[in-house]
Structure 1
């Protein structure tokens, strides 16, 4: 992992089919572990990437063959993941309006289907950006949380009173 502000970059391209989403999860699990993320953060990253890939599989290619590119950029303080497809774009603002505000008090039966994947991604990751120029690119950031232990903690010695 580079410490000078540049990133190590890992790329993976998979077919846009449900059976390959596990491969994307394995990739980001290994990279997130290498970044030093906590177990809970690694699980959040895996779920967010799986949701982004699932959205691409279900909506991007409309029963055509296509691919999904997963790119991980590993910085010293964060992990940036981009999930991209070259399929059909959508109007993000219109989708937000269709979904409406999420009522946390509503019963599960009244929640409309669609849009919850993006809501979940936003909930799990520290930063999310969705671009839809040609296809869709979901950029997600998870910051590495340091535990705050001093670097010289091993040098500490107990003095007898």
Structure 2
């Protein structure tokens, strides 16, 4: 199991880099080519959401992205330092609510999605299957 970790300042201009790195690592891990756009878009949404949470809360810490090549799955975790702000409460899905909208977009792109928040930060965990051909290498 190999993991690539990326940490970046909570600035919108770093989201593009996270998307590019995620797509490259996913391709190398064996994620099917037809799914790479979904990986790129989901990571972009999750990172944009984390950046927004940091900026609105006045946090200066880094956003962490971990890309893990597991045996049969490719796992991506995007972690922020916003704590309880990271999971919208019931009924929060309002068109004006960027956080909930971002999560709705991600959930449309990722079948295996988990969103959680603790005292120290929030976590968006997403995974995709690795193609059968990649497992043979």
| Counterpart position of 1:108 | none
Deviations 1:3-50 (A, max 9, x none): xxxx11111101110000111011111111012222331110111111
What is the aligned partner in structure 2 of residue 43 from structure 1?
37
Cα distance in 2 for residues equivalent to 1:58 and 1:121: 15
**1:145, CA displacement in angstroms?**
3.9
How much has 1:65 moved relative to structure 2?
Answer: 2.1
Structure number with higher helix proportion = 2
Query: Which consecutive residues of structure 2, in runs of 5 or more, have no partner in the other structure?
Result: none
Structure 1 residue runs of 4+, over 6 Å off? Answer: none
Which segments of 5 or more consecutive residues in structure 1 lack a partner in the other structure?
Answer: 1-6, 100-110, 152-161
Q: Which has the higher strand share?
A: 2
For residues 141 and 31 of structure 1, the distance between their equivalents in structure 2, rounded to whole angstroms, comes to: 13
1:1-161 residue pairs with structure 2 within 5 A?
Answer: 7-61=1-55, 62-90=57-85, 92=87, 94=89, 96-99=90-93, 112-114=95-97, 115-133=100-118, 134-146=120-132
Q: What is the RMSD computed on CA atoms of the aligned residues?
A: 2.0
Q: 1:92 to 1:64 in 2, by over 3 A?
A: closer
Deviation string, structure 1 residues 84-128 (Cα, Å, up to 9, x no partner): 01124327361x4121xxxxxxxxxxx712212101111111211
